[in-house]
A and B are shown apart, each in its own frame.
Chain A
Amino acid sequence: MGAEVRRRAAGGRIDRDQTLDFVFDGRALRGFAGDTLASALLANGVDVVGRSFKYGRPRGIVGHGAEEPNAIVEVGAGASCVPNLRATQVELYNGLEARSIRASLFQRAAGAFGRLLPAGFYYKTFMSSPGAWMAWERVLRHAAGFGKAPDGADPDTYDRMNHHCDVLVVGAGPAGLSAALEAAGWGARVLLADEQSEFGGSLLAETRALGGDSAAAWLDGALAELDASGNVELLPRSTVSGYYDHNFLTLVERRSDHLGPVAAAGTRERLHRVRAEQVVLATGAIERPLVFANNDLPGVMLASSVSTYVNRYAVAPGKSLLLFTTNDHGYRTALDWHRIGREVVAIVDARESPAGGWVAAAKEAGIDVIVGHAIIEAVGRSRVSGAAIASLQANALAGTPRRLACDLIACSGGWNPTLHLGSQTGVKPRWSDSAGAFLPGDLGGGTVCAGAVAGTPTLRGCLEQGALAGATAASRAGFGSGRTTRSAPEVDEPPETPARSLFLVPHPKRVSRAPKQFVDFQLDVTASDIELAAREGYESVEHVKRYTALGFGTDQGKLGNVNGVAILAEALGKDIAEVGTTMYRPSYTPATFGAIAGRDVGGFFDPERHTPMHEWHTSRGAEWENVGRWKRPRYYPRSGETMQQALNRECLAARDGVAIMDASTLGKIDIQGADSAESLDRIYTTGFRKLGIGRCRYGLMLHEDGTIFDDGVTARLGEDRYLMHTTTGNAEVVFAWLERWRQTEWPELSVYFTSVTDHWATAALVGPKSRTVLAKVCTDIDLTGGAFPFMAVREGHVAGVPARVFRISFSGELSFEVNVPAQHGRAVWDALIDAGAEFDITPYGTEAMHVLRAEKGFIIVGQDTDGSMTPADTGMDWAVRRNKPFGFLGDRSLDLADHLREDRPQLVGLATDDARTVLPEGGQLVDDPECRPPVPIAGHVTSSYYSARLSRPIALGMVKGGAGRMGETVHCPLADGRVVKASIVDPIFYDPKGERQRV
């Protein structure tokens, strides 16, 4: 059938002056601006848009919106291609390239696949033998047939925007528009979102007049009014994809896809994160298909979709229409078809005596109305060529079926309210016998449902209910009285005869023998599959869903679920209400990873924190280590140096000459108040009450369970003022910990904590020559050992900047940690580098720092400890004072029986016997060199380096009962099969008396 035949000469909302060329499955085709890919395909006579998932049957377009199960396409090319779009929701643009992704599956796997995948295949195969998944995964993933993710990096930009509004209106159909107008009129901040490119919903295909004017004119007026209002934001092309707790909703806005790949500049999709005081759900309803044999043949469509293609897109997707309906509304499709001069073969109405206004109009138009009948089977090969109909009494067929010729079957089985969003909040939909549909459950005081989603059948009713919902929502948000201020436009609503519920059309053969009666088109679930599930004993709808895959597709069963539930209910002999629906989950339609990630990719994935000296490190070619979010220099390789060579050089400079490290990242907390010392006593294992002003003390911080979670040096700056150092990674955790105890347990203590981590830039000047270097730029502090001893702090000036200098050491060498306000950090660093030039001052990074401290047996919390270790386990009982008046956090836990066990893992030094092999960090330690399984684990290596100073490897580790095993041997099996022998030694490898740091 040619394009000219399908596209009507006039009418619709397409722009005939703008022709658009596009390619579908390699065929060059043409459409108009205003088309969707689906309407353009139908206009071009493309009947088959894919093959079905399981049986490989030809499939055509069924719907016209989010519900479309068959026309799943991949659009675009290369890295920006999007798999898995519904052709009914893809706006046509010039140059669009689309491929049917569901055609490829059966070109590869052939029809035999269907027999491999009976209902319950997944369930039976993988529940009974978990290993089977391994075997099947590749086949299934390959064959799943829902598109292929592009493998290149996505070149497009995505982002996120936060919104706060008084009223979010979801859906800009008649109800949503009325709600938005009313809420905005009361002054509420309104956000109106609709998934389509044009606002209007069903009005875009409406042929009746509203208030004496055309629907299009009323729509234009409403949109102009909303546009002019200062407090309404309109979001077209925005799918409300998720409805989460406390009225938080996500909207995915497609900003440039309709412009094609040429519009790659700008944001492709934007995720709107909306916090709404009130939500009006005006999401409409989706027509319910009818389940009969071969109902998946191309040419079987929803009646409302046929009308939409005719009225909105000026496309007649066939020549001779057979309408199958259970309600009056469906008659409108036959009337639309008749109006454009096409043949209506007949209206097959399942009801005995329909007598409503549309029925009368159809009869008046001369259309053959066959009452009390049903289509029992569609006929045709790759397209409908006719249908078998039969008389339907109660739930059984009567008489002999007869055949009618047609090339299009429009079905109207009633309406399923689009209640997915409400269901996402965890509120189960409820069955309404009067509406013959599931309706949203009680969504609470923050949500109002309006229009077809609430089961309202008429346009007039939707307009009225929308306005009331808008007024109600505005009022609940604090705007207006809750009464509507405008009257809904008049719409001709003829009387209707009640609909008949019909979920499965009987067939002369049993369901299991009849041609397939499809319930879920996307996953090829048939009525027979559901009955099989019931026979096999499944009763819960959630179990049947998993057994049959009903509703498991990307369409989440928008078309099939209700029929499926009803068929299950019938098979179980239960009411539909009793069976209930499955829960719907975000996202309403599939969302891209791009939209979810937003701009938090690449350099924005995780913030990098930089010290004031960052640029200097960069200029010196530092290799970086990430410590939390901080970028810290790991080492500074000179040209031609290996990492180990650089480390050796940096370590020896610190031991023999002078070296400098950027220690700005250490956490720093300023503590003030009369109870500062008391607070510190309670937080730390050590005592601070008697610490002299200008002196420093090391402390361990324990959780209440007695395990070490931080350590550091705290200095007393004044009578009631201290400065605490935390580890780099724990700065914020410790700060919150201090506030927690102050605020919740010890409000009586007079103490304040202030984080000053970012305020101070810190340069650690380390080595025998550090005093000489510092003296060149610091003249107002007496740096001699007598005046400025180890573990003391002095205030003065360094390079002319007010500074605090700490004589503390993490290397075991003479060391001065120079702290200056961060804005001066770089200048002071430069001055220290200049001052040290004549001594070949060597910058060193975290790796050398680790070696230096390991030589001294100093632990790193989080590397040598793992969250289960007490001070005793790490040999640091010396840092614990048990006789403080209050005790300290974790104190009591140190006496727990388990913490007193002698076979607990304890910190030890490890020396390899060959004095060459550097043990792997994380390596397991065992007692049996043969490693005969089962191998009891004696411990593991926590830190391991080559020590340039000692000319051999050193390591720290945790060994069960290690403190009592000095001199014994353990074995470390390596990945390459070797087993390395190591002796348990004291963890202090260098300067055990600590003399060097005290000079």
Chain B
Amino acid sequence: MFRIHCPHCREARSEEEFSYAGEAHIPRPVDPSSLSDSEWGEYLHTRTNPRGPHREMWVHTAGCRRYFNVLRDTVSYKILAVYPVGEMPPEQGEA
């Protein structure tokens, strides 16, 4: 059971208040119509699935309902950083 610091509520809350919202930093292509089927398919389906630091998006479902990014180690489950949507993680790790 994770303990996640919500950057909007500015305190640590228990995992059951949050929902995972997929890998972070997968921007929607600006002009989808210019992409080939396979390029569009990359955006739809391809994810990094790393062993180690993983940049992911979470939403504080039962709290402030705000989205934010988390850098989390998929081996140790340690949360290495929490940072706003639209920014890069403060420590890149090996991601």
Residue of B1, B65, B79 with highest tally of chain A CB at under 10 A: B1
* Chain A residues whose C-beta falls within 8 Å of the C-beta of B66 in the assembled complex: 743
Partner of B85, one of A273, A736, A744, A897: A744
Q: What distance in Å separates the Cβ of B64 from its nearest Cβ neighbour in chain A? A: 11
Q: Judging by beta carbons under 8 Å apart, are B27 and A745 in contact?
A: yes
Judged by a CB distance under 8 angstroms, whether A245 is at the interface is yes
Q: What distance in Å separates the Cβ of B20 from its nearest Cβ neighbour in chain A? A: 12
Complex interface residues of chain B between 30 and 81 (CB less than 8 A to chain A): 32-33, 35, 37, 40-41, 43-44, 57, 59, 61, 65-67, 76-77, 79
Partner of B44, one of A246, A247, A705, A745: A705
Residue of A705, A743, A747, A892 with highest tally of chain B CB at under 10 A: A892
Q: What distance in Å separates the Cβ of A246 from its nearest Cβ neighbour in chain B? A: 4
Judged by a CB distance under 8 angstroms, whether B10 is at the interface is no
Judged by a CB distance under 8 angstroms, whether B21 is at the interface is yes
Judged by a CB distance under 8 angstroms, whether A891 is at the interface is yes
Q: What distance in Å separates the Cβ of B76 from its nearest Cβ neighbour in chain A? A: 8
Judged by a CB distance under 8 angstroms, whether A704 is at the interface is yes
Question: What does the 1/0 interface line of A274-289 toward B look like (CB < 8 Å)?
Answer: 0100000000000000
Partner of B67, one of A248, A705, A740, A893: A740
* Chain B residues whose C-beta falls within 8 Å of the C-beta of A1 in the assembled complex: none
Q: What distance in Å separates the Cβ of A15 from its nearest Cβ neighbour in chain B? A: 41
Query: Bound state CA distance, A887 and B31, in angstroms?
Result: 9
* Chain B residues whose C-beta falls within 8 Å of the C-beta of A895 in the assembled complex: 37
CB nearest neighbor in A for B29: A892
Query: Bound state CA distance, A245 and B19, in angstroms?
Result: 17
Q: Judging by beta carbons under 8 Å apart, are B59 and A736 in contact?
A: yes
Q: Judging by beta carbons under 8 Å apart, are B3 and A743 in contact?
A: no
Judged by a CB distance under 8 angstroms, whether B90 is at the interface is no
* Chain B residues whose C-beta falls within 8 Å of the C-beta of A246 in the assembled complex: 1-3, 77, 79
Question: What does the 1/0 interface line of A53-89 toward B look like (CB < 8 Å)?
Answer: 0000000000000000000000000000000000000
Q: Judging by beta carbons under 8 Å apart, are A736 and B1 in contact?
A: no
Q: Judging by beta carbons under 8 Å apart, are B3 and A275 in contact?
A: yes
* Chain A residues whose C-beta falls within 8 Å of the C-beta of B61 in the assembled complex: 736
Judged by a CB distance under 8 angstroms, whether A244 is at the interface is yes
Judged by a CB distance under 8 angstroms, whether B92 is at the interface is no
Query: Bound state CA distance, A244 and B3, in angstroms?
Result: 11
Question: What does the 1/0 interface line of A732-768 toward B look like (CB < 8 Å)?
Answer: 0000100110011101000000000000000000000
* Chain B residues whose C-beta falls within 8 Å of the C-beta of A248 in the assembled complex: 1, 3, 14
Query: Bound state CA distance, A897 and B41, in angstroms?
Result: 11
Q: What distance in Å separates the Cβ of B90 from its nearest Cβ neighbour in chain A? A: 19
* Chain A residues whose C-beta falls within 8 Å of the C-beta of B35 in the assembled complex: 892
Q: Judging by beta carbons under 8 Å apart, are A743 and B44 in contact?
A: no
Query: Bound state CA distance, A386 and B32, in angstroms?
Result: 85
Residue of A247, A704, A744, A897 with highest tally of chain B CB at under 10 A: A744
Q: Judging by beta carbons under 8 Å apart, are B40 and A892 in contact?
A: yes
Q: Judging by beta carbons under 8 Å apart, are B67 and A897 in contact?
A: no
Residue of B27, B44, B66 with highest tally of chain A CB at under 10 A: B44
Query: Bound state CA distance, A705 and B42, in angstroms?
Result: 11
Complex interface residues of chain A between 693 and 723 (CB less than 8 A to chain B): 704-705
Q: Judging by beta carbons under 8 Å apart, are B1 and A244 in contact?
A: yes
Give the interface size class of chain A. 20 to 34
* Chain B residues whose C-beta falls within 8 Å of the C-beta of A747 in the assembled complex: 86
Complex interface residues of chain A between 869 and 919 (CB less than 8 A to chain B): 887, 891-893, 895-897
Query: Bound state CA distance, A246 and B14, in angstroms?
Result: 10
CB nearest neighbor in B for A743: B67
* Chain B residues whose C-beta falls within 8 Å of the C-beta of A744 in the assembled complex: 57, 67, 85-86
Q: Judging by beta carbons under 8 Å apart, are A892 and B32 in contact?
A: yes
Question: What does the 1/0 interface line of A421-456 toward B look like (CB < 8 Å)?
Answer: 000001000000000000000000000000000000
Q: Judging by beta carbons under 8 Å apart, are A893 and B77 in contact?
A: no
Q: Judging by beta carbons under 8 Å apart, are B67 and A245 in contact?
A: no
Q: Is the interface of B mostly helix, strand, loop or mixed?
A: mixed
Query: Bound state CA distance, A273 and B86, in angstroms?
Result: 35
Complex interface residues of chain A between 243 and 270 (CB less than 8 A to chain B): 244-248
CB nearest neighbor in B for A899: B37
CB nearest neighbor in A for B4: A246
* Chain B residues whose C-beta falls within 8 Å of the C-beta of A887 in the assembled complex: 32-33
* Chain B residues whose C-beta falls within 8 Å of the C-beta of A739 in the assembled complex: 59, 65, 67
Query: Bound state CA distance, A743 and B59, in angstroms?
Result: 10
* Chain B residues whose C-beta falls within 8 Å of the C-beta of A275 in the assembled complex: 1, 3, 14
* Chain A residues whose C-beta falls within 8 Å of the C-beta of B59 in the assembled complex: 736, 739-740
Q: What distance in Å separates the Cβ of B17 from its nearest Cβ neighbour in chain A? A: 12
Query: Bound state CA distance, A375 and B31, in angstroms?
Result: 82
Q: Judging by beta carbons under 8 Å apart, are B2 and A893 in contact?
A: no
Q: What distance in Å separates the Cβ of A679 from its nearest Cβ neighbour in chain B? A: 14
Q: A893 with B44: in contact, given A246-B77, A248-B3, A744-B67 (CB under 8 Å)?
A: yes
Q: Judging by beta carbons under 8 Å apart, are A897 and B1 in contact?
A: no
Query: Bound state CA distance, A247 and B77, in angstroms?
Result: 12
Complex interface residues of chain B between 78 and 95 (CB less than 8 A to chain A): 79, 85-86
Query: Bound state CA distance, A736 and B77, in angstroms?
Result: 25
Q: Judging by beta carbons under 8 Å apart, are A743 and B85 in contact?
A: yes
* Chain B residues whose C-beta falls within 8 Å of the C-beta of A743 in the assembled complex: 66-67, 85
Q: Judging by beta carbons under 8 Å apart, are B40 and A245 in contact?
A: no
Query: Bound state CA distance, A246 and B77, in angstroms?
Result: 8
Complex interface residues of chain A between 214 and 260 (CB less than 8 A to chain B): 244-248
* Chain A residues whose C-beta falls within 8 Å of the C-beta of B19 in the assembled complex: 736
Partner of B1, one of A245, A705, A745, A891: A245
CB nearest neighbor in A for B28: A745
Question: What does the 1/0 interface line of B1-28 toward A look like (CB < 8 Å)?
Answer: 1110000000000100001010000011
CB nearest neighbor in A for B76: A426
Query: Bound state CA distance, A895 and B28, in angstroms?
Result: 17
Q: A896 with B14: in contact, given A275-B3, A743-B66 (CB under 8 Å)?
A: no
Query: Bound state CA distance, A896 and B44, in angstroms?
Result: 12
Q: A247 with B3: in contact, given A736-B61, A743-B66 (CB under 8 Å)?
A: yes
CB nearest neighbor in A for B43: A704
CB nearest neighbor in B for A250: B1
* Chain B residues whose C-beta falls within 8 Å of the C-beta of A745 in the assembled complex: 27-28
Q: What distance in Å separates the Cβ of B16 from its nearest Cβ neighbour in chain A? A: 10
* Chain A residues whose C-beta falls within 8 Å of the C-beta of B28 in the assembled complex: 704, 745
Query: Bound state CA distance, A247 and B1, in angstroms?
Result: 8
Q: Judging by beta carbons under 8 Å apart, are A893 and B3 in contact?
A: no
Q: What distance in Å separates the Cβ of A748 from its nearest Cβ neighbour in chain B? A: 11
Q: A245 with B2: in contact, given A744-B57, A744-B67 (CB under 8 Å)?
A: yes
* Chain B residues whose C-beta falls within 8 Å of the C-beta of A245 in the assembled complex: 1-2, 77
Query: Bound state CA distance, A246 and B27, in angstroms?
Result: 30
* Chain B residues whose C-beta falls within 8 Å of the C-beta of A426 in the assembled complex: 76
Query: Bound state CA distance, A871 and B90, in angstroms?
Result: 42
CB nearest neighbor in B for A245: B77
Query: Bound state CA distance, A893 and B14, in angstroms?
Result: 37
Query: Bound state CA distance, A619 and B40, in angstroms?
Result: 54
Q: What distance in Å separates the Cβ of B67 from its nearest Cβ neighbour in chain A? A: 5
Query: Bound state CA distance, A757 and B28, in angstroms?
Result: 30
* Chain A residues whose C-beta falls within 8 Å of the C-beta of B77 in the assembled complex: 245-246
* Chain A residues whose C-beta falls within 8 Å of the C-beta of B67 in the assembled complex: 739-740, 743-744
CB nearest neighbor in B for A742: B67
Q: Judging by beta carbons under 8 Å apart, are A896 and B33 in contact?
A: no
Complex interface residues of chain A between 385 and 437 (CB less than 8 A to chain B): 426
The 5 closest A-B pairs by CB, nearest first: A892-B32, A248-B1, A246-B3, A743-B67, A245-B77
Known: A248-B14, A704-B44. 5 other contacts (CB 8 A): A275-B14, A704-B43, A745-B27, A745-B28, A893-B40
18 A-B pairs within 8 Å (CB atoms) are namely: A246-B2, A246-B3, A275-B3, A736-B59, A739-B65, A743-B66, A743-B85, A744-B57, A744-B86, A745-B28, A891-B32, A891-B33, A892-B32, A892-B33, A893-B40, A895-B37, A896-B41, A897-B37
Q: Which residues of A contact B (CB under 8 A)?
A: 244-248, 273, 275, 426, 704-705, 736, 739-740, 743-745, 747, 887, 891-893, 895-897
Q: Which residues of B contact A (CB under 8 A)?
A: 1-3, 14, 19, 21, 27-28, 32-33, 35, 37, 40-41, 43-44, 57, 59, 61, 65-67, 76-77, 79, 85-86
